[in-house]
Amino acid sequence: MRALLAASLLCGLAGSIATVIPMEASAYVRTRTKASCRPLRWAQTCIFLQPDAELLRTDMASDAVLDAIQGAIRSWNDRLDPSSFLRLYYLPPSESKEVSQTDRLGSIKFRFERWCRPAKDASSSPICFDPAATAVTTVTFLNKPTEPEQDGQIVDTDIDLNAVGYRFVDGSLPFPVGEKRPLVDLWNVLTHELGHVQGLDHTCSLDFGSVPACMTDDKGAAIPSCTELDNMRRTSQSAESAYQAAMYPTSVAGEYSRRIPTSDDLAGVISTHPAFSDPQICKIPSVVSGCQAAAQRAPHQDAAHLWALLSMLCLPFLLMLRLRRKSELRTP
């Protein structure tokens, strides 16, 4: 998988340095801002996610698609509670619409005819993705190095899924016969993408020759290439942990072993969003019709404030400056 950055007004691009081969690999990597190298983070408790109404057409039953989405959400929520304040909230699909990086809503959208986002208007061009990518997560965050309180704050995320080049399936069931597209387990892919939503990066790099300057592990060491990581697994337990993590960037056809985030994946989220720092902010995006949301976890006594806050779910958000972060999960 590759990580790509696109900049907007007042936001910067990540730099790069020569590849460094560390003695040991780390099992989690945080996405960071360019100038300050601060890890990306959420300044709110709730992250709202909503699938587009057009799911997978004839590839997968709608109920199975929604089960996979909610299963991936539960995979994170059930294991982050009570150590992290972040909660992923599922909103049922209501209509088919294009994704937006300014609406504060985490859209999940399948692409069928073209593996691209359409042009916004007559003066712009479509945004097309790497054909090898099964999914692309765009993370919009503030890039304000002179304002530490806001720098690196995530304000929006969206997930695009490549139904043009891949067929999404339930990998635990028999595979469909005669399918020409590579098969990928939808739940597996979504667990990985939701890691990006929460600010995690890949545990190794698919970019040959160089990696971004701030693409380091939790100890500050440059991450290895995925080829190096695979070789290091024979002698390094931390390299093996990085390989087993949900944020490892490649998979084989139909694999579903990474549906559940590992302890190292979870540590990456908890390190930046510990429970004791809960901002207790839980507002539903104003673009959402109605006021229904469901956290894919059982209510916890210590999180009672979440349910009180959810009674005020129709408050609007302010729009902010943004930087798009894209990440791609692809099969070899």
Structure confidence by residue, pLDDT tens digits, 264-295: 999 999 999 999 999 999 989 988 865 455 55
- How far apart, in whole angstroms, are the C-alpha atoms of residue 10 and residue 147? 13
Task: Report which secondary-structure segment, H or E, holds 307.
Answer: helix 304-309
User: 18 falls in which pLDDT band (50, 70, 90)?
Assistant: very low
Q: Report the candidate in 215, 231, 212 with the shortest Cα–Cα distance to residue 223.
A: 215
Closest listed residue to residue 94, CA positions, set 283, 291, 318: 291
Domain ranges across the chain: 3-330
Confidence of residue 217 (pLDDT cuts 50, 70, 90): confident
> How far apart (Å, rounded) are the C-alpha atoms in residues 170 and 159?
19
Q: How many CB atoms lie within 10 A of CB 10?
A: 11
Whole-number pLDDT of residue 93 = 95
For residue 177, what are the contacts with CB-CB under 8 A and spacing of at least 6? none
**Residue 324 token pair:** 């798009």
DSSP letter string over 10-65? T-----EEE----SS--S-EE-B-TTT-PBPEESSSEEEEEE-S---TTTS-HHHH
- Does residue 36 register a pLDDT over 70? yes
Lowest mean pLDDT among 94-108, 141-155, 200-214, 282-296: 282-296
Domain 3-330 is in which class? Answer: alpha beta
Instruction: Note whether 63 and 73 are within 8 A (CB).
Output: no
Closest by Cα among 179, 198, 234 to 87 = 198
Q: Exposed e or buried b for every residue in 55-90, given b needs 16+ CB within 10 A? A: bbeebbeeebbeebbbbbbbbbbebbbeebbbbbbb
Provide mean pLDDT across the span 119-146.
92
* Nearest alpha carbon to residue 30 among 149, 203, 190: 203
Taking the C-alpha atoms of residue 275 and residue 167, their distance in angstroms, rounded to an integer, is 38
Q: Give the strand pairing for 210-212 and 16-18.
A: antiparallel
Rounded mean pLDDT of 158-171? 97
Rounded CA-CA distance 75/247 in Å is: 14
* 89-98, 134-143, 287-296: least confident range: 287-296
Distances (CA, A) of 202 to 83, 133, 157, 163: 22, 14, 17, 22
- Largest Cα span, the chain: 56
Contact 78, 87 (CB under 8 A): no
41 exposed, middle or buried (CB, 10 Å; 0-12, 13-18, 19+)? buried
Three-class DSSP labels, 210-245: EEECCCEECCCCECCEHHHHHHHCCCCHHHHHHHHC
pLDDT at 212: 66
